[in-house]
Chain A
Amino acid sequence: MSIQLQEGVNIHVLPTKKYKTIRIVLKFRTPLDKKNITKRALLSSLLETNSKKYNSQTKLRSELANLYGASFGLSVTKKGTMHMLTVGMTVVNEKYLSANENVLQDGIDFLKEILFHPNVTDGKFDEETFNREKENLADYYESIFDDKQAYASLSLQRLYFEDENQKTPSIGTLEDLNDITAASLYEYYQELLAEDCVDIYVLGDVEESEMTEAFRAFPFKARQVPRESIFYTATTHNKLIEEIEQQEVTQAKFNLAYETNVFYQDKNYFAAQIFNGLFGGFPHSKLFMNVREKESLAYYASSTLDTFRGMMTVQTGIDSTKVEQVREIIQLQLIEMQNGNFSDEAIDQTKEMLKNQVLQSEDNPGAVMEKMYTQQLVGSTLTTAEFEQKINEVTKEEIIKIANQVYLKATFFLTGEENK
């Protein structure tokens, strides 16, 4: 059930006795804007570190330890045209504890304290905390370079999109970080609290009325709901952009990005899920079977759909000298899909795998909330049973049609070879 606390502030309570814990999530959402992305990432680290009442990390973490090791953290993500700051907390259901304690209400009080009484003096965040977290975030940007597959993915995203907001990683950039001050960040935080859309989710053995009352006490005022669609559909360049970068790596990364023009739960969505499963999503897929199993060229070669930006990416880890062979095999697999060279048995298998995946996600509190949130953003109410039915109804022709509307727009090759 969803209840509006204020305009733009909603609570969704999902009572269940399945878990030994209660999971609380607050999602703050705003249209993606490069000038705010880095501020939001920095806020997520600052708010996690300390607050006015818990003015050191030790005090904050001790409070959580005393709440029977409650998990607490903030993170930033983006989806289509939106950026989200997520605050998450998991507390143990009191009935499994020997002691008689009110862990849930104490946890909610803790969240309120953290969000509304941050470590601020004279209109700016505590300078020492601010400087430390700013430095740590700068170090984190540096460390992404050390994770080669993550680096390759971000590079591919930069090539694929023309829009600066879409090119920017969800955690922001170093250049934007340099401009932020303790005062400007606090000012932005006030804006976020006043203007972001807020969705609160509570999942566990709880009473809906109690939770609604508990969160009514959070001083959120009414705010406007952004009207724009969450889908990013702007057409970008039409030529293939290819980039090669040389670094001292043992294994090369060859990543490809395709435009699909398929969006979350639109009429093509279900066929596209099966197309992706057959092409590179599962261990029985064409990429896995041909790049890995037949030719022994890679340990991984897989594809992923981004149905909020109408894109599909392929990731591979390969020997530098084999890149042309790998490129040809990948292209050939797409042609095979376009020509309908896949069996009915493989289609059925993919359908079974997808249905299994969706049912399995219902065993994970985080995934259940994420799905509800996504459906709410796109205004869909598709149940699991309806999803299964839609998947069952997909025909071979529809899958072939998807394969024919997919086209390559960018490739990024990270290689250890110097003479490229």
Chain B
Amino acid sequence: MEKKHYAQLDETLYTETLDNGLKVTLLPKNDFHKTYSLFTTNYGSIDNSFIPLGKSEKVTVPDGIAHFLEHKMFEKEEGDIFHVFGKYGASANAFTSFTRTSYLFSSTNYVLENVATLLDFVQEPYFTKETVDKEKGIIAQEIQMYDDEPDWRLFFGIVGNMYPHHPIHIDIAGTVESIMEITAEDLYESYHTFYHPSNMNLLVVGKMDPAEMMDWIRQNQAKKEFAPKQEIQRFFPTEKVSDIKAFDSIEMPVNRAKSIVGVKGIEPAPTGREALVLKTTMNLLLTLLFGPTSTNYLQLYDAGIVDDSFSYEFNLDRTFHFVDIGGDAKDPSALSDAVKKILETAPHSPELTSENLTMIKKRMVGKSLQSLNSIEYIANQYSQESYGEASLFDLVPVIESITLSQVKELATQFMVPERMSVFHILPKEAKES
């Protein structure tokens, strides 16, 4: 068990990679009542084309399998796993992203028992035709709920423009049609390929004795047998800059129009500490250009082009990275035109001064310290992102190290018109004003 102490933040992190390949991270916070644990596989909705464990032929599975698996893991022959957690007062949940599936519980008591339940239920698959078919109605309702959510549709609209081939353009839950094709055999095949301990990590944050906890986890894993570790081969379509669709729009029965601009990263994204540096530099750049302290934001806000719903984010993950910026709009074209213009002239923007950068860095340092109050935030960041040796607790020195010329260089290299795309949601019936 390795131990790393972060003196300024007063936090200690314990890590160990077990014999079966499972990576375990413990962060004791003994002032808290709660313990929160996430068991994550490096497998999400985009991993729909791969060579199954022990086979040599590539398969392509129906869309939405990773998410379907997430739902089905909770049901066992003897009943629902929520009952086992409930017996120990724990609340359990799970979520699937483009690249990860995480199972979690939070509890204030019986922590060792709950950790064992978490490990055991995720490591004991149980699917039958009957239980798989029954789940289809529930997931169809989940998909339809998102169909009515304009912000979700906006996000997938811009992602679809930027990635017409890559599976990131497909809803994480799949479609009502694709999930109908899913069988118990499909689920077992995906499960055995991606739920190998060497493709997973376990994180426990909160009240605990780290030595006792690590020992408990080691013993739990030593009892189980797994196939030999094998490198997972996944396949993704290649995309060209020319594939990016510059504009698209849909109509929805909404009152408020929405507008979003995307900028697609073309080069392979870095990994490890470099990824943390890129992510931080981009966040600084976007905050300088569009943050609440920028003149740009004030002008757009005062002109009625944007309102409080305006936001920006940088997504960087396995196989993709992109920026998206937008929100509700009276005039969706005015919003996307203004945002594009700011992006295209970003390297020479008057917002990019060392004075502004100093202020934004202070803001970012403070915000990152604030976020460390939340056990859930820390855990989710850890399980979703891998910065190699660097971690969430290294963020402050990384923020402090970034220079104005790095920010400008990123603006020059990334904010290129050919990589940009626009998506609008328009109210279905033009309303009289």
Interface residues of A (CB under 8 A from B): 17-21, 45, 56-58, 61-62, 64-71, 90-93, 96-98, 128, 132, 135-136, 139-140, 142-143, 145-148, 247-251, 282-284, 289, 292-293, 295-300, 317-319, 345, 348-350, 352-353, 355-357, 359-360, 362-365
Contacts and interface: CB of A to CB of B under 8 A. Distances in A.
Contact of A284 (B86, B293, B374): B86
Contacts of B369: 20-21, 68, 92-93, 96-97
Interface in B23-82: 31-34, 80, 82
Given A20-B370, A68-B365, A57 B297 contact: yes
Contact of A250 (B147, B292, B364): B147
B89 A355 contact: yes
B156 to A, nearest CB: 14
B142 A143 contact: no
B381 interface: no
Interface in B117-170: 134-139, 141-142, 144-145, 147-150
Interface in B367-382: 367, 369-370, 372-375
Contacts of A90: 370
Contact of A362 (B9, B33, B304, B370): B33
B413 to A, nearest CB: 26
Contacts of B307: 136, 139-140
B255 to A, nearest CB: 4
Given A143-B328, A145-B255, A284 B148 contact: no
B229 interface: no
Task: Kindly list the 8 A-B residue pairs having the minimum CB-CB distance in the complex, ordered from nearest.
Answer: A296-B137, A68-B366, A69-B366, A352-B89, A69-B363, A356-B89, A65-B363, A61-B292
B255 A251 contact: no
Contacts of A57: 292, 297-298, 301
17 contacts: A58-B292, A61-B293, A66-B362, A68-B363, A69-B364, A96-B9, A146-B254, A251-B147, A283-B80, A297-B141, A299-B141, A317-B141, A352-B88, A352-B89, A356-B107, A360-B33, A365-B373
Contacts of A350: 86
Nearest to B330: A139
Given A250-B147, A251-B141, A251-B147, A356 B301 contact: no
Nearest to A67: B366
Contacts of B190: none
A10 B148 CA distance: 45
Interface of B: 8-10, 31-34, 80, 82-83, 86-92, 106-109, 134-139, 141-142, 144-145, 147-150, 253-256, 291-295, 297-298, 301-302, 304, 307-309, 328, 330, 359-360, 362-367, 369-370, 372-375, 428
B359 A66 contact: yes
Contacts of A282: 82, 86, 91
B173 to A, nearest CB: 10
B141 A318 contact: yes
A97 B256 contact: no
Contact of B144 (A251, A289, A345): A251
Nearest to A351: B89
Contacts of A250: 144, 147-148
A17 B138 contact: no
B224 to A, nearest CB: 26
Contacts of B255: 142-143, 145-146
A98 B8 CA distance: 8
B410 to A, nearest CB: 20
Given A20-B370, A146-B150, A299-B142, A356 B294 contact: no
Given A58-B295, A96-B8, A136-B308, A284 B83 contact: yes
B147 A349 contact: no
A211 B31 CA distance: 23
A247 B255 CA distance: 12
A296 B428 contact: no
B86 A148 contact: no
A357 B351 CA distance: 46
Contact of A19 (B88, B373, B428): B373
Contact of A247 (B87, B89, B253, B373): B253
Contacts of B147: 250-251
Nearest to B431: A142
A140 B293 CA distance: 23
B86 A296 contact: no
A70 to B, nearest CB: 7
A271 B291 CA distance: 48
A66 B108 CA distance: 37
A250 B140 CA distance: 11
Contacts of A142: 255-256
A217 B161 CA distance: 56
A148 B91 CA distance: 27
A360 B256 contact: no
B89 A251 contact: no
A284 B90 CA distance: 12
Given A21-B370, A142-B255, A251-B147, A68 B362 contact: yes
B428 A248 contact: yes
B82 to A, nearest CB: 4
